[in-house]
Chain A
Amino acid sequence: MSQKPYDNWETIIGLEIHVELNTRSKLFSVAPNRFGDEPNTNITEVCTGQPGALPVLNKEAVRKAVQFGCAIQGEVAKFSKFDRKSYFYPDSPRNFQITQYDQPLVKGGSIVAEVGGEEKCFAVNRVHLEDDAGMLKHFSTFAGVDYNRAGCPLIEIVSEPCIHSPQEAVAYAVAVKAILRYIDASDCNMEEGSLRVDTNISVRLKGEKGFRNKIEIKNMNSFNFMEMALKSEIHRQIEEYLHHPHIPPEQVIQQATYRWDPEKKETVLMRRKETADDYRYFPEPDLVPIVLTDAYIEDIRRSLPELPLQRERRYGRDLGLSKHQSFALTIDQALGDYFEEALKTCMNARALANWLLVEFAGRFKESGESVLSSGIKPEQVATLVNLIEQGKVTGRIAKSVADDMVAHPGADPAVLVAQNPNYHPLNDQEEIERYVNQVLADNPRLVNDYHVAGAEHPYRRDKIFTFLVGQVMKLSKGKASPTVVNDRLKHRINQWET
């Protein structure tokens, strides 16, 4: 792949993200909106399309969809309506879906995401409400339909074709998911299908105007798979065009739907789209239009919680966290909340961020767990950082304490330190001074250089000093109190005769 002239090509991706809203009941019925129950238990006459049953719109679902619209700064329509989309399939109880066709609830909007450490802004075309289908279950001799999911509220978030790489697609989807979590609109559980992504992808030669035929890819139930699927599809499309340079592009790649096969690790053809589907959309006569007032929309806008982007910027501005730290702590809302909780009692935000994102993250990498589910309380991480700040433990001891915290979740680091003599920092001035003297004696040339550098070359001087501190710490096996070491070393080096 690397030798090919792929640099001449650019990729155009559009994402359609279907999100199940976490309302108590379904979009058009009072049946519970819940995953994982016995098949066909969360159903009413509405969910199974019984004759005479009528839909009634769930206001909570509208509210959550409007929240999302406000969160992405989209234009929330004061007038929108539902339409019937006709197609026959056993999981569709009425054989039409109730969706929003030409007058969606939200028009426009944007998603800011981090791609390779850089912020990028992606345009959203529309967000609309619709109801979910049931699920087909195949058994050895028959197939059954579970209508528990039928009628669950979905929002479909349609991006503009403004995404230009698989990395961008993942970053966009991750940012969408973060917003949904922050406003508590969905649990976004991809394995349970609460968040499903369909992608439309095409490639074209750089500088080319207009789009070539696009391929739709479905069935990617993780962002990992999505990235793999897109990469493999880009590769496939470019190879097709390269192998057929004399065939018109619209014949090389024809519109079709593929699905990702996680076993084969490639996209597999589902069906060709020789003719456009005719869903015969028309306004749903059983529902009245959604009419929203300015006051309602404004109220939702004002009561939005802090969003990931706002939190990220606050961390940079107010806490001095690096761009990456801010992003990493906010994209996962639960981790951000954990950080905030720890911050309440912590003396150093940057050190805290580092401990969470590097030290503890590293300790959980293998197990696949995370500090969030470990039983380690946020204030305990804060305590550990404070112990370092107060000079009560050295950084080196702190790492051992952290190991203990992982091994004994819930243990208070202050107690761990108090109970373990090995963790007590060496405060004995005389002993430390002995180490200091030894280090000075062992490094006569450096001590000389230190004096030569003098006040004119503070940089060189500080470098030598830091190195010598390190040597003292080493002799003390990391236990010497850094404050005392600093103090004694400064004192002794200035008296030292070479």
Chain B
Amino acid sequence: MYNLSAIEIREQFLRGERSALSIARYYLERIARFEAQIGAFLEVHDKQLLSRAEQLDQKRHTHQPLGKLAAIPIAIKDNILVKGEITTCGSKCLAHYRAPYQSTVVNLLLAEDAMIIGKTNMDEFAMGSSTEHSAFQKTYNPWNLTCTPGGSSGGSAAAVAARFCPVALGSDTGGSVRLPGAFCGVVGFKPTYGRISRYGLVAYASSLDQIGPLATCTADAALLMEVIGRHCDKDSTSLPEEPEEYLNHFKHSIEGMKIGVPWQFLEGLADEPRQRFEEAIEKMKQQGADLLEVDLSVLKYAIAVYYILATAEASTNLARFDGIRYGHRSPRAKTLDEVYDFSKEEGFGPEVKRRIMLGTFVLSAGYQDAYYRKAQKVRTLILESYKQAFNQCDLIASPVSPFAAFEIGSIQDPVQMYLEDIYTVSVNLAGLPAISLPNCLTKEGKPLGLQLMGAQKQDRLVLNAAHVLEKIFPFHKAVPPLVDQEATL
């Protein structure tokens, strides 16, 4: 059953071949069996899951209409609020924070009868590329337990890769859905900025954050997009568009599609990833796509621009975690200033502190022109470069990351870690849709991903192309050997 897609699970439930309760129990058993080795979840909502499954069974027995996600178990990254449940953002600061309201995405999921299975581990406040910056636990890559699952949505990616659930939600500010997707060999989709409501997503960098689905196949990702890709009145940056239909509009070929590759930007790529990327390009050609080179040389500034703008926004977004209204308040504090100082000192981890300090610095009087304002200008240039590139082509292809999953603890230099995002951040800066599609396995048996990027609002085109390619890529439907077995024998 763990090989079933979300769509197949729903169909079996609707046909009465499986009860929601049996589906819920099945995945809880898998979690019980493998989670100790993976560490994907911060909290599994087993009781809530079972009682919801019973409700759905009841609903089906009484012939009530059932939603598009009926009986599909879904894991939620722990920076998305599920009303009444703890939402930690991977931070000590929010270790006991219980969400007082429902996020828009969770509302939409529940309205379509999805079953929430639990909250997944992440880099603290989504700041990181390996999930090592979680204040609570490490998450191990199901393909290789010595490696990270990538980040920051590493828990969600690992949960899907380990088949603890067929689908999960992550959030992507600079690659945080796509990178762990690639490291864990699952599909990770970052929609056009504004496609999915951010209401109830704890903000890291507001102008870059976007929720995205992780799934074992593009069709499941598309299904989730149909449900959660809607305009929301509570998010002013939400696209004023009608929800898109994906599945019924997928074409079965990429013939004639123009795919651009920014070759000069890929010069630093190591041999194996480069070779595998070229093989993927070859496959696209075989499918009739027109490959051409696009000039995106401005992307060499993307990492610098990203770490200025994202940290600037983060420094103010995280200012609210002061221990006054909620969150960790230091018991040592005796004065107001101590409440601020000690609570933050104790509540935030080193990476979060580093980024708050960096963001505060780049916004400071006397430095704002040199950093923040200049970065905004370069962001505009990046946007323009993409626009020009998309005048020549329909999609742009690149690797997701320079390497496959790296070993836990192997990257200590923060800047080296930031460079992991070199192929992903520019998409956020330009607000584009992009997908990370598992391409193949390396000689060491680690997944490598391919990234397809589209022009703004071309979410369907991106998903469609990936949908065609996933069937012909060597990775097709591979499952990590460790979990490629039933939990109960």
Contacts and interface: CB of A to CB of B under 8 A. Distances in A.
A51 B203 contact: yes
A282 B100 contact: no
A326 B202 CA distance: 57
A286 B206 contact: yes
Contacts of A280: 315-316, 360, 363-365, 368
B201 interface: yes
Contact of A95 (B198, B313, B319): B319
A155 B360 CA distance: 28
A48 B313 CA distance: 19
B236 A287 contact: yes
Contact of A282 (B200, B234, B368): B368
Contact of B87 (A51, A53, A287): A51
Contacts of B312: 282
Interface stretch (B11-19, B64-72, B143-151, B320-328): B320-328
A57 interface: yes
B97 A51 contact: yes
Contact of B203 (A52, A57, A287): A52
B325 A54 contact: no
Main secondary structure of the interface of A (DSSP, over half): loop
Contact of B325 (A48, A57, A288): A48
B325 A282 contact: no
Report, as a range, how many residues of chain B touch the other chain.
Answer: 35 or more
Contacts of A287: 236-237
Contacts, number: 94
A54 B234 contact: yes
Given A278-B364, A282-B363, A286-B236, A52 B320 contact: no
B368 A50 contact: no
Contacts of B236: 54-57, 286-288
B325 A52 contact: no
B313 A51 contact: no
A84 B326 contact: no
A93 B336 CA distance: 15
B365 A84 contact: no
A52 B336 contact: no
A256 B298 CA distance: 47
B87 to A, nearest CB: 7
Contacts of A278: 364-365
B316 A84 contact: yes
Contact of A93 (B199, B325, B363): B325
A51 B319 CA distance: 11
Interface in A167-222: none
B89 interface: yes
Contacts of B368: 280, 282
Contacts of A145: 324-325
A337 interface: no
B477 to A, nearest CB: 35
A90 to B, nearest CB: 5
A52 B199 contact: yes
Given A86-B316, A96-B316, A285-B207, A50 B326 contact: yes
Interface string B19-62: 00000000000000000000000000000000000000000000
B319 A86 contact: yes
Contact of A52 (B201, B324, B363): B201
A161 B365 CA distance: 25
Q: Which of B201, B319, B360 neighbours the largest number of chain A CB atoms within 10 Å of its CB?
A: B319
A48 B97 CA distance: 14
A84 B314 CA distance: 12
B206 A285 contact: yes
A288 B201 CA distance: 18
B235 interface: yes
B206 A94 contact: no
A369 interface: no
Interface in A300-340: none
Contacts of B80: 52
Contacts of A276: 365
Nearest to A275: B365
A51 B363 contact: no
Contacts of B87: 51
A218 to B, nearest CB: 20
Interface in B76-121: 79-81, 87, 89, 94, 97, 99-101, 103
A377 to B, nearest CB: 46
Contacts of A96: 316, 319
B343 to A, nearest CB: 11
Interface in A85-128: 86, 88, 90, 93-96
Contacts of A52: 79-81, 99, 103, 198-203
A49 B324 CA distance: 11
Contacts of A282: 312, 316, 363, 368, 372
B345 to A, nearest CB: 14
Nearest to B238: A54
Max chain A Cβ within 10 angstroms of own Cβ: one of B234, B235, B372:
B234
B352 to A, nearest CB: 14
Given A54-B235, A56-B234, A278-B365, A49 B206 contact: no
B198 A54 contact: yes
Given A51-B94, A280-B364, 11 more contacts: A50-B326, A51-B87, A52-B80, A52-B202, A54-B236, A56-B233, A95-B316, A276-B365, A278-B364, A285-B237, A286-B236
18 contacts: A49-B325, A50-B101, A51-B87, A51-B320, A52-B79, A52-B80, A53-B200, A54-B234, A56-B233, A56-B234, A56-B236, A88-B322, A94-B316, A95-B319, A280-B360, A282-B312, A285-B207, A287-B236
Interface of A: 45, 48-57, 84, 86, 88, 90, 93-96, 145, 276, 278, 280, 282, 285-288
Interface of B: 79-81, 87, 89, 94, 97, 99-101, 103, 198-203, 205-207, 233-237, 312-313, 315-316, 319-322, 324-326, 336, 340, 360, 363-365, 368, 372
The 5 A-B residue pairs whose C-beta atoms are closest, nearest first, are A95-B319, A285-B207, A285-B206, A280-B363, A51-B202
